[in-house]
Homo-oligomer: A and B are copies of this chain.
Amino acid sequence: VTAEEAAPLFGGIDLGATKILSLVVSRTGSLLAEDIRPSLGAEGRDAVIGRMVASLRECLATVGVDGRQLAAIGVSAPGPVDDAAGVTNPPNLPGWHDVPLASLIGSQLNARCTLENDANAAAFAEHRWGAGRGSRHMLFLTVSSGVGGGIIIDGAIYRGVSGAAGEMGHVTIHENGRRCPCGRRGCLEAYSSGLAIAKQGYRIGRRASGALHARRAAAEPLTAKAIYELATAGDETARRLIADAGRHLGTGLASLINIFDPELIVLGGSLTKMGDLYLGPAQATVQRECSAQARRDVRIVIGELGDRAPALGVATLALETATQTSTL
């Protein structure tokens, strides 16, 4: 057994609505193995947890060690994570309520397990290994079907009192406005997310003309991605839908910049792939709506770690927690 083979390993498992992404890193943070498989949430909680464990075991098998060298793991999940109670309540997964995910996964893999919200974890990964390296105060927003957020203050995740902080998708930008999937009205998510774009596209598709109508009439899916494809093909209505969502995102970002005066905002999630069509109007709105001093201080950039960010973030959390503990 060489020194490298005996060195501790750290695992990260990200539970998403559609897929599980696991990885194993060395104590220096090098990525050693990765596994991606579908979540299959409809099969129920225990089946999903079994697949999470199997996914990380697959990574360990790839590295070529058994579970005994796994020093610590982290698990990320969507929705609020309650630090104090050690439970998670992921939306979009039927039958999950106050699930003690850290202890369930930790006991099956025989390792200490840390639980974290997926956007917080992604923020942490971008801060340690990605676009946020070296920054002091950084906000992370992930914009895909929904809008999530993570806050880094003085280089650490800011969790609030019990882990519910960072719900930036549910800042009200338009009182009594559009209905949000969270049940309330006027949230940033209801205006700037992929679902918001799709919903507006479907509504506009009712009008008896244009490419959106043609797609709707043909019963083809009107997802944000489909609308983006129409936009890049030159459809003006599709372009306007995406620009509007970008402008709304800019309103939310400007409020956050006025609150936090951060040095950096890192944007992640699938909508960032829409580029200037979406992000141009967001940047223009930020320029207009921020205080001069905060605007001078902040840069807005795209994340570097993509879908891997949450799992890498929780693995890094597990690593740093273990390192700090052994140092003390």
Which A residues fall within an 8 A CB radius of B?
80, 82, 136-137, 149, 151, 153, 158-168, 170-175, 182, 184, 248, 251-252, 254-256, 258-263, 288-289, 291, 293-294, 296-298
Task: Check A294/B173 contact, CB under 8 A, given A167-B259, A184-B289, A259-B167.
Answer: no
Give A182 to B294 CA distance when docked, in angstroms. 14
Which B residues lie within 8 Å of A167 (CB)? 258-259, 291, 294
Within the complex, what minimum Cβ distance (angstroms) separates A297 from chain B?
4
Q: Which of A182, A260, A296 has the most CB of B within 10 A?
A: A260
Known: A136-B161, A165-B261, A170-B291. 4 other contacts (CB 8 A): A164-B258, A166-B261, A167-B294, A172-B254
Which B residues lie within 8 Å of A298 (CB)? 161
B291 pairs with A164, CB closer than 8 A: yes
A293 pairs with B164, CB closer than 8 A: yes
B82 pairs with A293, CB closer than 8 A: yes
B261 pairs with A161, CB closer than 8 A: yes
Give A160 to B298 CA distance when docked, in angstroms. 10
Which B residues lie within 8 Å of A258 (CB)? 164, 167-168, 170-171
Kindly identify which residue among B161, B251, B263 contacts A262, using a CB–CB cutoff of 8 Å: B161
Which B residues lie within 8 Å of A259 (CB)? 149, 151, 165-168, 171, 256, 259
A153 pairs with B158, CB closer than 8 A: yes
A160 pairs with B254, CB closer than 8 A: no
B173 pairs with A172, CB closer than 8 A: yes
B297 pairs with A160, CB closer than 8 A: yes
B80 pairs with A164, CB closer than 8 A: no
A173 pairs with B170, CB closer than 8 A: no
A-B contact pairs, 21 of them (CB 8 A): A153-B153, A153-B158, A160-B294, A161-B261, A161-B262, A161-B263, A162-B296, A164-B258, A164-B294, A164-B297, A165-B259, A165-B260, A165-B294, A166-B259, A166-B261, A172-B173, A172-B289, A174-B175, A182-B291, A255-B255, A259-B259
Which B residues lie within 8 Å of A296 (CB)? 162
Within the complex, what minimum Cβ distance (angstroms) separates A135 from chain B?
9
Give A184 to B149 CA distance when docked, in angstroms. 25
Give A24 to B256 CA distance when docked, in angstroms. 36
B289 pairs with A160, CB closer than 8 A: no
Give A256 to B168 CA distance when docked, in angstroms. 9
Give A163 to B294 CA distance when docked, in angstroms. 9
Which B residues lie within 8 Å of A175 (CB)? 173-174, 248, 251
Give A158 to B165 CA distance when docked, in angstroms. 16
Which B residues lie within 8 Å of A260 (CB)? 160, 165
Task: Check A162/B293 contact, CB under 8 A, given A153-B153, A171-B259, A173-B172.
Answer: yes
Give A172 to B248 CA distance when docked, in angstroms. 11
Task: Check A172/B251 contact, CB under 8 A, given A160-B137, A160-B297.
Answer: yes
Give A255 to B167 CA distance when docked, in angstroms. 9
Give A170 to B294 CA distance when docked, in angstroms. 12
Give A82 to B252 CA distance when docked, in angstroms. 24
Which B residues lie within 8 Å of A165 (CB)? 259-261, 294
